[in-house]
Structures are given as C-alpha cells and as structure tokens.
C-alpha cells in the first residue's frame, strides 16, 4: 500500500509539473507575439517623426506660387522657393503690383518708398520683416509652421508684425504646384519711356514691367504729361474723354486690353499697321505700337 501511494504521489507531482510547463510555453508565445508587433509599430512611426531631417520631403527645383492681388493697393504676393536635396534651402517672399507694375515690393520697401515705419509706426520695414519670415520657413520646412490668427498675423516668428497669411498661402500653393521652369529674364522691375511729349495730347508714353522667376507677371502701359499726371489715372478720372469724342471705350479700358495681350503672349507684339494700330486685339482702336516697342526696350535691360 505504501509503495502504491508513493507511485500515485509521484504521478500527481509529474502531472502538475507538466501542466506548469504547458502554461509557461503559452505565456512565452504571447510575449513573443507582443515583441514582434511592437517593433513593427515603431518602424512605422519613427520615420514620420524624422521626415524633415532624414527623408527628402520635396522634389528638387524651384517652386512659385501666388495669391490674389489686393484690390485696393494692387500688390500681389508671391513665394519663390528653392529646394535642394529634398529640403527648402531658400525662400523669397515678395510682391508685384498689378496696377503700377515696375519694382517688386522688397525693392520699393528697401528704397524707403513703402514707408512701413514712417507711415505705419512699425518696428521694422517690410523687407526686413519678410526676411525673418523667410528664414523661419527654411528652418521649419513647412509653411504651416507659421501659424496665423484670424487677422493674418503670427506670434510664431519673432520680430514680424505684418500680415503673413498671404506668404503662407503663396508658399503652400507653390509646393502644391510642384517645380516650375524659370523664364528667360532677370527678376525685377523695368521701365522705358518715349523721347518726347505728344504734341496732340501732351503725354509721353511709358511702360513698366515686373518680372518674377524670369517671367513677365505685370505690365503697365501708360504715360505722363508735363504736370506729372499718370495717363491711365487721367483717363479713369474722366479727363481724357475718348468716349466724349465718339470712341466706344475710354483710353484706359483699351490700353488694358493691350496689356493683357502682351502678358498672354509673353511679350510678343501683334502685327501693326503703319500708324501703330492693330486688328489682332479685339476692342482696341488706339495706337498701341509705341507701347510694344517701349516694352521691348524695357526687356533689353532684363536679359
């Protein structure tokens, strides 16, 4: 009986040990499953955290984007971004004026003609503040990092009190559009004018052009008289009086069509007759030949 009891006890102990080993194997398998899942999750999320430094975020090239022009001032914001090695290495926040053409906003500011400090009491001129926002974008690599309030201002960039929402929108539009090719001209504002005042109307013809990323983006065909009046504004104010003389449109309305043709055709001139008139631009009956000649002269300085 004692021998039988010993055998039975040994069997029970052995069964218990085997059951324990079975439970340990299950726990080991579960732990192994957890271990193989966790690194997979880490491998998925880690690159995203380092995307700005380890992974090329953008295709190399030049990016260009704009927003709508301000209807009152005529200034149209643009962003010109350079990407090298997948990163934004340079940012240019500037603007051109669709009403007056000519010099870009940074130069107008640098020349003291924008007057942000003198006229608006700002802490720094516009071009100086723009440079800070540009540097911030290059550092952060994402326009969205420049957070703006409902009025378009930001607290993210120290020393910047001007509206930055247009810069953010233009930079985002540029990156969304992808790399673009530059045009054949040097960026900036260009001017040309006639040699003398017209004996009939008293105005000397003038042309002003704005070029961004090598392309003509704004053109103003106008004129100036001895009193310094701008011909386009003179017409807008009803002082030129073409309609009163029987024309179907005022001078500023017709010259605007010539400007549009010039921009749409990248500076190319239409076929003209001996008087400088053309049938190629619908709605234009005035002499526009001199303006296309002056525009060509202005572009000589941009080559």
What is the tens place of the pLDDT at every residue in 282-299?
999 999 999 999 999 999
Sign of the C-alpha dihedral computed for residues 40, 45, 50 and 51 taken in this order: positive
State how far the Cα of 148 lies from the Cα of 261, in Å rounded to an integer: 38
State how far the Cα of 229 lies from the Cα of 222, in Å rounded to an integer: 10
Q: Of the candidates 145, 180, 146, 165, which has an alpha carbon nearest to the alpha carbon of residue 65?
A: 180
Q: What is the mean pLDDT of residues 122-137?
A: 97
Q: What is the pLDDT of residue 301?
A: 95
Between residues 56 and 257, the one the model is more confident about: 257
Q: What is the mean pLDDT of residues 108-114?
A: 96
Q: Would strands 203-212 and 188-193 be described as parallel, antiparallel, or unpaired?
A: antiparallel
pLDDT digits (tens, 9 = 90+) for 13-57: 334 433 444 444 433 344 333 333 233 333 333 333 344 445 678
> Has residue 160 got a pLDDT over 80?
yes
The token duo for 191 is 């001017």
Q: What is the pLDDT of residue 56?
A: 73
Sorting pLDDT into bands at 50, 70 and 90, what band is 76?
A: very high
Q: What pairs with residue 81 in β-bridges?
A: 63, 91
Q: Is the pTM of this model over 0.85?
A: no
Q: What is the pLDDT of residue 132?
A: 98
Q: What is the pLDDT of residue 98?
A: 98
Task: Give the chain's mean pLDDT.
Answer: 86
Task: Give the least confident one: 11-20, 68-77, 177-186, 229-238.
Answer: 11-20
Q: What is the pLDDT of residue 120?
A: 86
pLDDT digits (tens, 9 = 90+) for 181-196: 999 999 999 999 999 9
State how far the Cα of 31 lies from the Cα of 138, in Å rounded to an integer: 45
Between residues 154 and 25, the one the model is more confident about: 154
Task: Give the least confident one: 114-123, 200-209, 235-244, 278-287.
Answer: 114-123
Task: Give the least confident one: 16-20, 42-46, 101-105, 164-168.
Answer: 42-46
Q: What is the pLDDT of residue 147?
A: 98
Q: What is the pLDDT of residue 34?
A: 32
State how far the Cα of 213 lies from the Cα of 187, in Å rounded to an integer: 6
């Amino acid at each position: 009986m004692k021998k039988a009891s010993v055998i039975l006890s040994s069997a029970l102990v052995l069964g218990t040990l085997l059951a324990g080993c079975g439970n340990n194997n299950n726990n080991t398998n579960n732990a192994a499953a957890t271990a193989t899942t966790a690194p997979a999750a880490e491998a998925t999320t880690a690159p995203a955290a380092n995307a700005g430094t380890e992974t090329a975020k953008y295709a190399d090239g030049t990016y260009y984007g704009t927003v709508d022009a301000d209807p009152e001032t005529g200034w149209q914001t643009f962003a010109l971004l350079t990407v090298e090695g997948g990163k934004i290495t340079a940012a240019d926040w500037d603007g051109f004026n669709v009403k007056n053409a000519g010099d870009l906003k940074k130069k107008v500011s640098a020349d003291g003609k924008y007057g942000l400090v003198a006229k608006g009491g700002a802490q720094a001129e516009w071009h100086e503040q723009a440079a800070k926002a540009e540097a911030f974008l290059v550092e952060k690599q994402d326009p969205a990092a420049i957070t703006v309030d409902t009025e378009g201002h930001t607290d993210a960039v120290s020393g910047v009190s001007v509206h930055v929402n247009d810069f953010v929108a233009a930079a985002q539009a540029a990156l969304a559009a992808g790399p673009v090719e530059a045009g054949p001209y040097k960026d900036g504002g260009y001017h040309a004018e006639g040699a003398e005042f017209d004996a009939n109307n008293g105005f000397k013809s003038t042309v002003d052009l704005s070029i961004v990323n090598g392309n003509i983006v704004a053109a103003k065909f106008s004129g100036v008289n001895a009193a310094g009046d701008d011909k386009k504004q003179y017409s807008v104010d009803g002082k030129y009086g073409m309609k009163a003389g029987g024309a179907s449109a005022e001078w500023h309305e017709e010259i605007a069509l010539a400007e549009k043709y010039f921009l749409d055709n990248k500076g190319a001139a239409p076929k003209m007759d001996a008087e400088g008139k053309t049938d190629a631009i619908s709605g234009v009956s005035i002499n526009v030949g001199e303006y296309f000649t002056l525009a060509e002269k202005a572009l000589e300085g941009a080559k």
